[in-house]
Every structure is written in C-alpha cells, then in structure tokens.
Chains A and B, each alone.
Chain A
Amino acid sequence: MTQEAQTSAVPVLAASDVSKRFGSVVALQHIDFEVYPGEIVALIGDNGAGKSTLIKILSGTLAPDSGTLLMNGKPVKFASPRDAREAGIETVYQDLALAPDLDVPANLFLGRELRRAGILGMFDMLDVRAMRTRAQSHLDTLGVKIKSIDQRVDTLSGGQRQSVAVSRSVFWGRDVVIMDEPTAALSVAQSALVIELIKRVRAGGTPVVLISHNLPHVFEAADRMIVLRHGSRVGSLDPKTATMEQAVSLMTGALAATDLRAAAAGEADDRG
C-alpha cells in the first residue's frame, strides 16, 4: 500500500491544461492530471463531473479541444483508441467490452490473436494452443481463478467476467491501465475480488487509473485521489490522511477548493 517517491518521478501519463466542450456543455476545463509509476490514482467526482470524458481523452477515444498529453514527459497525440493502445495504455470500459459467446482466451486475445509461425501464419491461422497456454498462465499470475478457461464468457459470474476484462487490460497495458467503474453492478463479494485484482496489478508494477463512485473501495485501493467537479479539478487527496467526509464535500462543493498536496489549487464553482 505505501507508495512514496511519486513526487520525484516523471509521470507515466499526464494531461496538461486539457479542456473539452460538447457544444455549450463544458465537460472539462484546464485539467491537469498525472499518473506516476506504480500507483493507483483514483478519479472521483459526482455524476457528470467529467471523469469519463477525461479518461476517453487519455485513451484516445476523444480528442481534447486544447491541452496536451504527455507520456513519460514526452508529448503524444492519440488519433484513435488504437494509437493509445499501441502506446501501452489499456482501458476497461464502464460497459464491458467482452465477447460473451467466446471463451476466455479468445477474449484475452480479442483483436490481437496470435498466429501460427511460418507458412500457416501467412494463411492467417490462429495459434489456439499458444493463446490458451498464455491466457492460463497470465490468469494464474494475477490469481484469477476460473474453473475452466474454455468456458464461454457468458457462463462466468459478473465478478469473473470483470476479472477477465481487467486481466485483459493488464495483459496488454504495458504502461497504464485505465478502469472506468470496474466494480459497478457487482456484489460486495465480487467487487472485493476485483479490488484485490487491481491491487495485484499495481504490485506487478503497472500504474492504474481507477474511476469509482464507491468511496470505500477508493480509500481501500488508491494511493492518491483526484477530485473533479463540474469539469474542473478541485483537489487531490491522500486516502491515508483524508476522510470520506472531506472527499464528499470536495465532490459536492460543500468544501472550498483545497489541494491537500499543495499543487494546482482548484477554481471550483464555475458552471458550464
């Protein structure tokens, strides 16, 4: 849990002065955001605060109106989700993106299936066995237990399915894994399973951006929390010292904008 040395390191992924509007709706204004190596950073805020919009920009689904993205200190531009994925950023979307009729290895390798070596590969032939072996060992490493990975995904429980989605993002996300509400619609037990998995991802060295409305989860898993409100960053909190009341009042605007880390003090209360 204890992660230090973030302040000195260069962020793996950062957004600088990013703004985005949809017509007259200001979804994000002058947002700075950063993920340091090996941390879980939580993005919290009320419905419509701009969390999904921000991670869509980070994952190449949306282009910002202004501002820049930086990977390891260098400016990058993502024209599509594919660009972001190739740069090493994987996203678990709020609504699952698994193919329910396919089995677990097929889902882990979806869109990036392994081909057989040599001439058979030239004929686009799948290497089913290699994918199966690698899927199994990857799930074992992450401690995801599924009776048989040959099961179709729609026969798994919600938590297992979410675990498969998270495992897939970790498998391919070399640099950052972004998760938009990975525990939404899960039971307490199943959420605990996914939170454990996210912690194991961090233990493996991959930083995670976590969006969640579930503050106990956030306080349990995150190393840092960034609070959005009406499209602005109104503060960042350290879950070890902050209280849930502080987080809630920042999210709702009851507390004046404070940045407990002294960086970028917010300019809350502008409405789009």
Chain B
Amino acid sequence: MSQLVTGAPAERRAPGRFQLGWDVALRLGLLSIVIILAIVFTLTAPGFLSAQNLENNERQMAVIGILAIGETFVIITAGIDLSVGSMLGFSGILAALALGHGMPIPLAIVGVLVIATLLGLFSGVLIDTASLPPFIVTLGMLGILRGFTQIFGNGQQIAFGNSPFTDFAANNFLGIPQLFWVLVVIALVAAYLLHCTRRGRHVFAIGSNLEGARRAGINVRAMTFLVYGVSALLAGIAGVLLTARQAQGDPNAGTGYELDAIAAAVLGGASLFGARGSILGTFLGVLLVQILTNGLNLLNFDPQVARIAEGALLILFVYIDHWRKRRLATA
C-alpha cells in the first residue's frame, strides 16, 4: 500500500515541475523582453530616455495600468470585461460635465466613481443572476456606454477650465508624475487584495472551478458582483485621471483601450481559462505595451503598427496558454 502511495506522485512529478517552471519562466521571459526592448529603443529611438518622454510614458501607463489591473481581477475568474475602454470614456465625460457645471471637485469625482461602480455591479448581476456570458454583457455595455458618452459630449470635447484637478495630473511628486503614483498605490492595494486575502483567494477559486467554489461555501454571486464592480471602479478612476490629464472631456477617450487592458493582463500571465494571473505580471505587461507603442512611435512607424503588434502578441500569448493547458491535460 505505501508503495502505491509513494509511487503515484513520482510518476506525476513532471507536470508539477512544468507548472512551477512555467510561471517563473513566463515572468522572467516577460521581464527580459521589456529590458531588451528598452535597450533597443534607447539605442535607436531619439529621445526615448528624455525626461519629457519618460514622464509622458508614465502618465499614459498610469491610465492603461489602472484599467489592466481591474481587467486582471475579472480574467482570473475566467470572465472578461470588454467595457473598460467605454467605461473610461463615459466616466471622463461625466467628470468633465460635472466640473463644467461648477460641481466641487471631490463631489464630482466621488459621484462619477459611484456611478461607474454601480454600472459594473449591474454587469455582475446580468452575468451571475441572469447567467449571461461575460463577453456578451460587457460587449453590450461597450456599445451602450460609448453611445451615451457621445450623446452627453454631443460629439465634442468638453472643456471645464483649469483647476487643481488638472494640476494634479500635470504635477510630479519626487520627480515622478503624480498619476504614476496613483497607479503604484492602486497596484499595491490590488496586489494585497488579490494575493494576500481570503477574497482574493476566492477570485482564483471561482476561476478554477466555479461549481466547486460554490459548494465550498464561497459566495460566488457576491464575488462576481465584486470583480465587475472593481473593474468598473478602476475604469472610472482611469477616466477621471485621463480627463484631468487632457484638461478636457473627450467622448472618444478610451476607444480601443480594452485591447490594451486585456493584452497587458494576458502578456502578464493572466489566463483566459481562469485562475492564473498576478498584479506584478500585469504591471510588466503594461510596461511592455507602453514601451512598444512609444518606441515604435519615436521611430516614426505608423501608430497602427504598434496596434498590429499588440493584437498579434495577444493572440500568440493566448495560443501559448492554450497549448500549456492542453499539454497539462495530456501530461
């Protein structure tokens, strides 16, 4: 009997090692690609390391990064949120309108974030309670929110005058844009919630085995509301920050950002099959997307080239993940 017991794991050791090695290899691989790209662009792209360019990158990265963090929570539950770009645009316009009408800054921000979160919770209700596929619900929200954004903005930019609001986005703290500090704080809090708390563990459990999680007494409904609520809240924050940065509301803001958010999370190791992903990985993914876009831009490539590269990388990484899953199943 004991022969049996000890014999079994030995046969099975290979996939276990494969698994562990996989995570490390992925993270290191990503890090080295980021470093290599940074070196290549430093050598070839004029002004890549200039203070101006770095600050711009950090500001843009803050916006994409905050979206991608929310997306990471959703993807780990084996869901997807396609509405983050539209939610960003929607929140940005609402903030610009509120400020333009003289609403106090804190009130405007809180109001916009509450609305965004409620809309995210609504998506969660449709997904959990009405059992609709996340892909359809959030694709619908993508259209609905963008439509309202255009109507509210009347298809035009919305100015609201300069204020401490725009100063916040323009200023630095310790030589680094304050927007980037917001990303750092959000990333730290998100990493704690996802990797160190019970609820974070439940996010992974749901992505791993939904029915099993339910039977284990995990409140799957509340957790589904929570992840889509968090994703929407973070998209709302990103929208408000982008409006501050541009000093105006833009009804087209955030168009196509869902690709950036999903690509960053997936490049960072999040699996669309669920139960895999990390905030650190997503952060590296955002860094990769940002450096790639900026470097190609500085090298005078058509901006669409970066888009093409990003889309191709996304498909490639999902393919690799699919292959990993298959190999594990047959191992």
Q: Does chain A bind chain B?
A: yes
Encode contact with A along B196-214: 1 for CB under 8 Å, 0 otherwise. 1111111011011101110
Quick one: given A124-B198, A155-B19, A192-B1, are A100 and B8 in contact (CB under 8 Å)? no
B13 partner, pick from A113, A125, A147, beta carbons under 8 A: A147
The answer on a CB contact under 8 Å between A100 and B208 is: yes
Closest to B206 in A: A99
| Any A CB within 8 A of the CB of B10 | yes
Quick one: given A155-B12, A156-B9, A192-B1, are A99 and B198 in contact (CB under 8 Å)? no
- Quote the shortest CB–CB distance from B73 to chain A (angstroms): 15
Encode contact with B along A78-100: 1 for CB under 8 Å, 0 otherwise. 00011001000000010111111
Tell me the bound Cα distance from A145 to B155 in angstroms. 66
Residues of B within 8 Å of A64, CB to CB, are none
| Any A CB within 8 A of the CB of B302 | no
Encode contact with A along B268-288: 1 for CB under 8 Å, 0 otherwise. 000000111000000000000
- Quote the shortest CB–CB distance from A61 to chain B (angstroms): 9
Residues of A within 8 Å of B207, CB to CB, are 101
Encode contact with B along A131-147: 1 for CB under 8 Å, 0 otherwise. 00000000000011111
**Chain A, 90-131, CB within 8 A of any chain B CB:** 93, 95-102, 106, 110-113, 115, 123-126
Considering only CB atoms and an 8 Å cut-off, how many residues of chain B contact the other chain? 39
Quick one: given A155-B16, A190-B8, are A110 and B216 in contact (CB under 8 Å)? yes
The answer on a CB contact under 8 Å between B198 and A115 is: yes
Encode contact with A along B1-26: 1 for CB under 8 Å, 0 otherwise. 11011101111110110010000000
Tell me the bound Cα distance from A148 to B4 in angstroms. 16
Tell me the bound Cα distance from A228 to B217 in angstroms. 30
Quick one: given A97-B212, A99-B204, A193-B4, are A126 and B197 in contact (CB under 8 Å)? yes
Among A82, A102, A160, the most chain B Cβ lie within 10 Å of the Cβ of A102
Closest to B195 in A: A126
| Any B CB within 8 A of the CB of A157 | yes
The answer on a CB contact under 8 Å between A101 and B4 is: no
The answer on a CB contact under 8 Å between A192 and B209 is: no
| Any A CB within 8 A of the CB of B328 | yes
| Any A CB within 8 A of the CB of B215 | yes
A111 partner, pick from B196, B211, B218, beta carbons under 8 A: B218
Residues of A within 8 Å of B209, CB to CB, are 97-100
Quick one: given A99-B213, A154-B328, are A126 and B2 in contact (CB under 8 Å)? no
Considering only CB atoms and an 8 Å cut-off, how many residues of chain A contact the other chain? 41
Tell me the bound Cα distance from A95 to B212 in angstroms. 9
Closest to A151 in B: B16
| Any B CB within 8 A of the CB of A17 | no
The answer on a CB contact under 8 Å between A126 and B201 is: yes
Residues of A within 8 Å of B275, CB to CB, are 99-102
Quick one: given A101-B204, A154-B328, A155-B16, are A111 and B197 in contact (CB under 8 Å)? no
The answer on a CB contact under 8 Å between A157 and B216 is: no
The answer on a CB contact under 8 Å between A124 and B197 is: yes
Residues of B within 8 Å of A160, CB to CB, are 8-9, 12
Encode contact with A along B203-244: 1 for CB under 8 Å, 0 otherwise. 011011101110111100000000000000000000000000
Tell me the bound Cα distance from A148 to B217 in angstroms. 26
Residues of A within 8 Å of B11, CB to CB, are 157
| Any B CB within 8 A of the CB of A159 | yes
The answer on a CB contact under 8 Å between B205 and A110 is: yes
The answer on a CB contact under 8 Å between B201 and A106 is: yes
Q: Give chain A's interface residues, CB within 8 Å of chain B.
A: 81-82, 85, 93, 95-102, 106, 110-113, 115, 123-126, 143-148, 151-152, 154-157, 159-160, 189-190, 192-193, 196
